[in-house]
A and B are shown apart, each in its own frame.
Chain A
Amino acid sequence: MSIVIDRKRCTGCGKCVLVCPGGLMKQEKDGTAVMKYPKDCWGCASCIKECKFGAIALYLGTELGGRGGKMTVSEKGSFLIWRVKKTDGTIEEIAVDKRESNQY
């Protein structure tokens, strides 16, 4: 389980580094975030929610049957927009209203 960081989108705000429940990330000298301990990632997605620039994506390791899809999330009003970009370039989105409870 781990994340991939798009260095071009990362602004060096450092929020992901602060929030990671394992303290697994760090900032390089130029401020860019890097995953220091990729094998220790729990896959909780805290960092991708924290990133306002869509610079961090969650993906499934091959041991978990991962197919290379990258998941990001952004906020729009009361919605969390979860987006998966597959390797063939197709994009699928699911919007979850934060004001709505789970049905299950």
Chain B
Amino acid sequence: MQIDITKVLNTDILIIGGGAAGCYAALTIRERSGYSVIIAEKANIKRSGCLAAGVNALNAYIVEGNTPQDYVEYAKKDADGIVREDLLFTMSERLNQVAERLEELGLVFLKDEGGRYVARGSRNIKINGENIKPLLADAVKKLEAVTVLNRVNITDYIVENNEIIGAIGFSIEDSSAYEIRAKKVLCATGGAAGLYRPNNPGFSRHKMWYPPFNTGAGYAMGMKCGAEMTTFEMRFIALRCKDTIAPTGTLAQGVGAKQVNEKGEVYETKYGLTTSERVYGTVMENLEGRGPCYLKTEGISKKEEESLKKAYLNMAPSQTLKWMESGKGASEQNVEIEGTEPYIVGGHTASGYWVDTNRQTTIHGLYAAGDVAGGCPQKYVTGAMAEAEIAAEHMIEALKRNDTHNTQFDKKADRSGKQDTASDRMRDQVKEYNRFLGNTETIYSIEELEEAMQKVMDCYAGGITSHYKYNERQLGIAREKIKQLMLLSDNVAAGDMHELMFVYELKERLLVCLAVIAHLEGRKETRWHSFAENTDYPQKSQEWMKYVNSRYENGTLKIFYRDLVGKEGQYEHCN
């Protein structure tokens, strides 16, 4: 199989990734301007991204009596200071209007008699989020001048003189390549799953916390063009229900279930209650011989048990299936918990693009929102949408000012007299696609290389097997092995377009692994247990109150440090 058709498309704004952030950005752009939009989505926007199965609460909301600054303080405390306060504040200010917009779109909220949203704790509100993604997708489909390209996988940006002018990819369905030229681009591809060996083996390997289809494409594309990245060392490890990897917050916050060890002792208070400490405590209890660990649900009422079953059906039906199959619900047996493998995300932790306050990356005209954008942890669903809105507003403003340095394509088009001729950059890329598609001489399969990568990260870069711990010697070994796998990944074979996507997903993950290793090495302290547990430097220190940032240059990751950014004023890229 070979790609022999290249489609060239032009748009004002290209959105890569049609998940929560991508869809919300499209809505904002069309509500506030007449600019044309293309959404390139590798699956189908109806259920793509993190919200495929639904979501059971909106976890970022400013409840009555609280202020956006309170939310900033909460996120800052949970990340022990390593956050961008400007990003957190501008996001927090918009959380509630995003929630209201979602209600307008048809999302069901629990309300009190006065018509106010009912809070779960001080930052969460209760919803029925089973259909949140179809609601967003329906709203997008109704928009004019928005073209949704489902099953189109973007692999590379087109950047000239550090300005983005488009992106390149291919269709998984009809074996054609796409060159999409745009004046502004929003990257909303999500974070990276599948870097580390997962909790479950073999057949169930993809029963994981984060969508296995989020492979770090946005990070990798940015890295390849020299975009600055931040805080990849703040990995996210979720505390989940064992086996089904279903959420635990519903049990902890919903029915007040405490974390207990096998002796029935509540251990969560011993280690602290931040997100990373809850995971760390569970690891330590197991290591010290007091496992397994549970959320204590025994003794809750039958009514609560039934409500839990329904709540899980709206976001993680496998957990309800497990309860129903076993014939024993949560009131009769505690729910065993475990930490997942580490993920790289910007929505729970703070890994991602280094952006200015308007969410523009260090590549002019390229914006980032949602899990792919760094510095702004605990953004969750509403925060990802708030960021998309901020980015959309700024893209509109910039387009109105005609703020593009680069008119390369227009000039070329004028010369040839055609706007639909593929660029040289595109022709080179199609050659690369066709090389993988035409390769018949290979020993290693894509799957083998992926498993090898996960094993390396698991053993040498702080995976489940090593209890999330690592040292510099191990990270050095990890780097060497990942680089070797990168070489091998240049010579894999793709039998069809879907496998060609697997090739690029593997390559994206390998590059992200390299960044994770460099960032873990870059922070010479242990600020967050489990998330970044450096056994060479087991303590935290004031001198590390700074960001670890990186840029990929000439095949090498350059690590550098930046001072913390406060909430005052607008942060602009300067060097």
Q: Which residues of A contact B (CB under 8 A)?
A: 1-2, 18-23, 36, 38-46, 58-69, 71, 73, 80, 82, 84, 86, 92, 94, 96, 98-104
Check if B204 is an interface residue, CB within 8 A of chain A: yes
A63-B200, A63-B204, A104-B126 given as contacts; is B108 within 8 A of A42 (CB)?
no
Check if B349 is an interface residue, CB within 8 A of chain A: no
CB-CB nearest 6 A-B residue pairs: A104-B254, A101-B110, A44-B52, A61-B204, A44-B53, A69-B325
Interface string of B104-134 (1 = CB under 8 A from A): 0000111000000010100000111111000
A19-B46, A42-B208, A67-B325 given as contacts; is B200 within 8 A of A102 (CB)?
no
Check if B434 is an interface residue, CB within 8 A of chain A: no
Check if B202 is an interface residue, CB within 8 A of chain A: yes
Chain A residues with Cβ below 8 Å from B207 are 1, 42-43, 61, 64
Interface string of B410-444 (1 = CB under 8 A from A): 00000000000000000000000000000000000
- The count of chain B contact residues (Cβ–Cβ below 8 Å) is 60
**Of the candidates A21, A63, A73, A98, which one forms a contact with B44 in the assembled complex, judged by CB atoms under 8 Å apart?**
A21
**Of the candidates B47, B307, B322, B498, which one forms a contact with A60 in the assembled complex, judged by CB atoms under 8 Å apart?**
B322
Chain A residues with Cβ below 8 Å from B46 are 18-19, 46
In the assembled complex, the Cα of A17 lies from the Cα of B41 at a distance in Å of: 15
| Residue from A61, A69, A94 having most chain B Cβ neighbours under 10 A | A61
Q: Which residues of B contact A (CB under 8 A)?
A: 42-44, 46-49, 52-53, 56-57, 108-110, 118, 120, 126-131, 150-151, 172, 200-208, 211-213, 243-244, 250, 253-255, 306-311, 313-314, 317-318, 320-322, 324-326, 498
6 more CB-based (< 8 A) A-B contacts, given A21-B211, A61-B207: A1-B204, A61-B204, A63-B204, A71-B317, A104-B56, A104-B307
Q: In the complex, what residue of chain A is closest to B203 when comparing beta carbons?
A: A61
Q: In the complex, what residue of chain B is closest to A20 when comparing beta carbons?
A: B43
In the assembled complex, the Cα of A44 lies from the Cα of B320 at a distance in Å of: 13
Question: Is A22 within 8 A of B56, CB to CB?
Answer: no
In the assembled complex, the Cα of A64 lies from the Cα of B243 at a distance in Å of: 5
Subset of 18 A-B contacts with CB under 8 Å? A21-B43, A21-B211, A23-B43, A23-B172, A42-B213, A43-B53, A44-B47, A44-B53, A61-B203, A65-B326, A84-B321, A92-B324, A94-B306, A99-B128, A101-B110, A102-B126, A102-B127, A104-B126
Question: Is A84 within 8 A of B108, CB to CB?
Answer: no
Question: Is B57 within 8 A of A69, CB to CB?
Answer: no
In the assembled complex, the Cα of A38 lies from the Cα of B203 at a distance in Å of: 7
Question: Is B255 within 8 A of A101, CB to CB?
Answer: no
A42-B207, A64-B243 given as contacts; is B212 within 8 A of A22 (CB)?
yes
Q: In the complex, what residue of chain A is closest to B43 when comparing beta carbons?
A: A21
In the assembled complex, the Cα of A94 lies from the Cα of B308 at a distance in Å of: 12
**Of the candidates B118, B130, B309, B318, which one forms a contact with A43 in the assembled complex, judged by CB atoms under 8 Å apart?**
B318
Chain B residues with Cβ below 8 Å from A71 are 317, 321, 324
Chain B residues with Cβ below 8 Å from A19 are 44, 46-47
Question: Is A104 within 8 A of B120, CB to CB?
Answer: yes
Q: In the complex, what residue of chain B is closest to A41 when comparing beta carbons?
A: B206
Question: Is B321 within 8 A of A69, CB to CB?
Answer: yes
A42-B211, A64-B244, A69-B324 given as contacts; is B108 within 8 A of A94 (CB)?
no
In the assembled complex, the Cα of A67 lies from the Cα of B47 at a distance in Å of: 28
CB distance from A79 to the nearest CB of B (A): 11
Question: Is A42 within 8 A of B126, CB to CB?
Answer: no
Q: In the complex, what residue of chain B is closest to A86 when comparing beta carbons?
A: B325
Question: Is A64 within 8 A of B318, CB to CB?
Answer: yes
**Of the candidates A23, A42, A94, A99, which one forms a contact with B498 in the assembled complex, judged by CB atoms under 8 Å apart?**
A23
Chain A residues with Cβ below 8 Å from B208 are 42
Chain A residues with Cβ below 8 Å from B43 are 20-23
In the assembled complex, the Cα of A43 lies from the Cα of B240 at a distance in Å of: 15
In the assembled complex, the Cα of A45 lies from the Cα of B239 at a distance in Å of: 22
**Of the candidates B204, B310, B322, which one forms a contact with A96 in the assembled complex, judged by CB atoms under 8 Å apart?**
B310
**Of the candidates B108, B206, B325, which one forms a contact with A101 in the assembled complex, judged by CB atoms under 8 Å apart?**
B108
Chain A residues with Cβ below 8 Å from B326 are 65, 67
A42-B207, A67-B326, A101-B127 given as contacts; is B49 within 8 A of A21 (CB)?
yes
| Residue from B131, B207, B208 having most chain A Cβ neighbours under 10 A | B207
Question: Is A65 within 8 A of B243, CB to CB?
Answer: yes
Question: Is A84 within 8 A of B324, CB to CB?
Answer: yes
CB distance from A102 to the nearest CB of B (A): 4
In the assembled complex, the Cα of A92 lies from the Cα of B108 at a distance in Å of: 26
CB distance from B296 to the nearest CB of A (A): 16
In the assembled complex, the Cα of A29 lies from the Cα of B46 at a distance in Å of: 25
Chain A residues with Cβ below 8 Å from B253 are 104
Chain A residues with Cβ below 8 Å from B318 are 1, 43, 45, 58, 60, 64
Question: Is B200 within 8 A of A40, CB to CB?
Answer: no
A1-B204, A22-B43, A63-B201 given as contacts; is B128 within 8 A of A100 (CB)?
yes
In the assembled complex, the Cα of A58 lies from the Cα of B205 at a distance in Å of: 16
Q: In the complex, what residue of chain A is closest to B246 when comparing beta carbons?
A: A43
Q: In the complex, what residue of chain B is closest to A96 when comparing beta carbons?
A: B310
Question: Is B47 within 8 A of A58, CB to CB?
Answer: no
Question: Is A103 within 8 A of B44, CB to CB?
Answer: no
Question: Is B108 within 8 A of A39, CB to CB?
Answer: no
A58-B321, A64-B244, A104-B126 given as contacts; is B213 within 8 A of A21 (CB)?
yes
